[in-house]
């Protein structure tokens, strides 16, 4: 991809980072690492994929952000804002001198994206266009995009997968929105070299902050493996459905690259450092994964061993479109960002279990006080694919 090589220009001092989708899973953990790294954070969320609570009968607060403040002892500037509301987004953006934007906000469920494609294209792509326009209007051209390994499609035997692997050929609407946004960002950079863009292609984030104070709290039917496992383990779900046990893998189940959420969050701080060091970086993509493939059953059995629980499994036939294996070659991120995934599968399971047992109902508390947009997304049942687990995108991933 086109880019301008790094220069020896002085290291830039940045203070304020604008984070979209900050109330969600990945966003909240990333904000915590940003605060710990000394940044000021301004964040927005519309609570499509994150819990929002009504306060004083009118204003909305994000409990995940409040807990981040509790852990760090630092304040976050939060606004309840939808990226489709460009006027409000402009007003929020204009209140601060923003140095860089990290863009998480997106609708995230693969299955849902196939049922309501218009909604996904409008929210994910139009929201991103609004954001980029507002950035340009405020002379901000530093951008980190929350992308996904889904942009690679089915890698076949090309594993581990590098950033040079062709993108496209994506089999679901959610993944296509990520791919289309990447292509749009390439075009924007080629047209205007003031832009400095890092594409972070996530593999499969799991786990929680080791304190157990923040974690993953899906507001829609569970589509990610670990929250579903934990719900079965604590008895709020009857069994864990696994689609496909006859793949050509060690135990017949699909292989994925699971990465601890804190490793992923630290990857964003590393990306910011790269942008600061190289003002003429241009546009560059990096895989954020461990480089190790783990089968679904291996993760399940590790979770059982670490938590001392036994999960009831419902084994079903594979589904059309599910891929056999996907795991990263993260060597470019290690070489150029100085970043590697350090935490083990056992830590992922232990930290998530601590979050789940300390917060059996997540952030929700009394749902009668949730804002309507979030409350309407709650569901008590779901069918989940545990073999096609590409990263959850998030309006707060």
Catalytic residue set: 174
Residue in this structure with the two tokens 């309501």, named with its chain if needed = 116
C-alpha separations of 81 from 18, 144, 245, 351 in Å: 13, 19, 43, 30
> Which of 335, 324, 341 is closest to 387 using CA atoms?
324
CB crowding 133-149: b at 16 or more within 10 Å, else e: ebbeeeebbbbbbbbbb
> Under a CB-based contact definition with an 8 Å cutoff, are residues 92 and 79 in contact?
yes
Length of the chain: 397
Among the listed residues 50, 144, 131, the one whose alpha carbon sits nearest the alpha carbon of residue 89: 131
The DSSP bridge partners found for residue 43 are 19, 78
- Tokens found for residue 377: 């997304």
Question: At what angle are helices 296-307 and 225-234 packed, to 10 degrees?
Answer: 40
């Amino acid at each position: 991809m086109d880019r301008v090589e790094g220069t020896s220009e002085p290291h830039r001092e940045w203070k304020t980072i604008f984070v979209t989708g900050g109330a969600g899973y990945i966003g909240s953990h990333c904000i915590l690492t940003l605060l710990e790294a000394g940044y000021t954070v301004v964040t927005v969320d519309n609570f499509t994929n994150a819990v929002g609570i009504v306060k004083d009968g009118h204003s909305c607060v994000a409990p995940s952000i409040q807990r981040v403040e509790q852990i760090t002892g630092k304040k976050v500037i939060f606004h309840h804002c939808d990226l489709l509301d460009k006027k409000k987004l402009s007003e929020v953006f204009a209140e601060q001198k923003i140095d860089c934007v990290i863009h998480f906000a997106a609708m995230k469920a693969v299955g849902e994206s196939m049922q309501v494609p218009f909604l996904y294209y409008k929210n994910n792509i139009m929201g991103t266009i609004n954001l980029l326009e507002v950035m340009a209007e405020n002379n901000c051209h530093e951008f980190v995009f929350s992308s996904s390994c889904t942009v690679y499609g089915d890698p076949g035997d090309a594993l581990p997968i590098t950033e040079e692997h062709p993108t496209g050929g994506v089999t679901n609407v959610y993944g296509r929105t990520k791919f289309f946004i990447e292509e749009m960002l390439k075009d924007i950079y080629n047209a205007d070299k003031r832009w400095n863009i890092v594409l972070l292609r996530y593999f499969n984030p799991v786990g929680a902050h080791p304190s157990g104070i923040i974690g993953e709290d899906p507001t829609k039917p569970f589509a990610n493996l670990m929250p579903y496992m934990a719900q079965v383990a604590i008895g709020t779900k009857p069994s864990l459905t696994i689609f496909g046990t006859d793949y050509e893998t060690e135990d017949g189940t699909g292989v994925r690259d699971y990465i601890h959420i804190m490793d992923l969050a630290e990857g964003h701080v590393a990306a910011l450092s790269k942008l600061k060091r190289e003002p003429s970086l241009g546009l560059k993509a990096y895989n954020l994964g461990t480089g190790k493939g783990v089968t679904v059953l291996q993760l399940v059995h590790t979770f059982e061993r670490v938590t001392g629980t036994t999960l009831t499994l419902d084994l079903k036939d594979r589904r059309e479109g599910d891929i056999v294996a996907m795991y990263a070659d993260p060597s470019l991120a290690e070489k150029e960002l100085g970043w590697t995934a350090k935490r083990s599968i056992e830590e992922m399971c232990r930290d998530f279990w601590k979050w789940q047992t300390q917060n059996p109902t997540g952030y929700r508390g009394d749902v009668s006080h949730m804002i309507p947009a979030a409350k309407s997304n709650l569901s008590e049942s779901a069918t989940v694919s545990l073999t096609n687990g590409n990263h959850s995108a998030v309006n707060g991933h």
